[in-house]
Amino acid sequence: MKIFTSWMSWGQAAGPLAEALPSQAVTRLREAVRFARTQHGVQQRPTGRPYVEHLLEALEVAVAGAQVRDPDVLTAVVLHDVLEDTACTERELARRFGADVTGLVRWVTRPAGHAKADHLAALAKAPAQAVLVKLADRVSKVQELQRLHWRFQKSYYQETVSCIVPLAAPHPWFAEWYEEWRRPWARRVARYPD
């Protein structure tokens, strides 16, 4: 199972992106990373690392792993948490990055007051492009799940298997990646207490 942790900064991502994408797509992604960094500010991942690292990991998953080339999908991957986790509004996002990107981000944003399980279940009706955003996001989160407390590992594994893995079925690269991830984790979480 490939782990995607090579792009921890824009400097590490820029070269591989330039090899894979047209220059205008790379410019747009650089703008999206800057915008996301500003919006997320000092937010950190559960491991204490800067939040922007998660966004760049998800982008690496999409580009280097799943070979996604759609600039709207890739931009949405970088911006996928700005509506849910920052003060950014849909209007501001649309003004900066367009209605298509905003629509994809809206699909993967859990509305305030909605249960997480209900939101994840609703993704079964999402457009394929929005599903790609969610799949890349979750790969970034689960690829190093072992760094977190075992109780969180167990619940996040179960949520991923029940809600995310089925979304990967129509996307061969993601389906294979999640299956390679699932097998050892199934054995691991089976050892944890109930």
| 98-120-178 Cα angle (round to 5) | 95
- Give the number of other CB atoms < 10 A from CB of residue 34: 13
List the catalytic residue out of 53, 70, 84, 90.
84
Concerning whether 84 is annotated as a catalytic residue, the answer is: yes
Q: Are 17 and 26 in contact (CB under 8 A)?
A: yes
List the one residue out of 166, 188, 192 whose CA is nearest residue 179: 166
**Distance set, CA 94 to CA 105, 126, 177 (Å):** 10, 19, 32
Concerning whether 70 is annotated as a catalytic residue, the answer is: no
- Give the number of other CB atoms < 10 A from CB of residue 26: 20
Q: How far apart are the first and last CA of the chain?
A: 27
For residue 125, the 8-state DSSP code is G
Q: Give 88-138 as a DSSP string.
A: --HHHHHHHH-HHHHHHHHHHSPPTT--HHHHHHHGGGS-HHHHHHHHHHH
List residues with catalytic annotation. Answer: 84-85
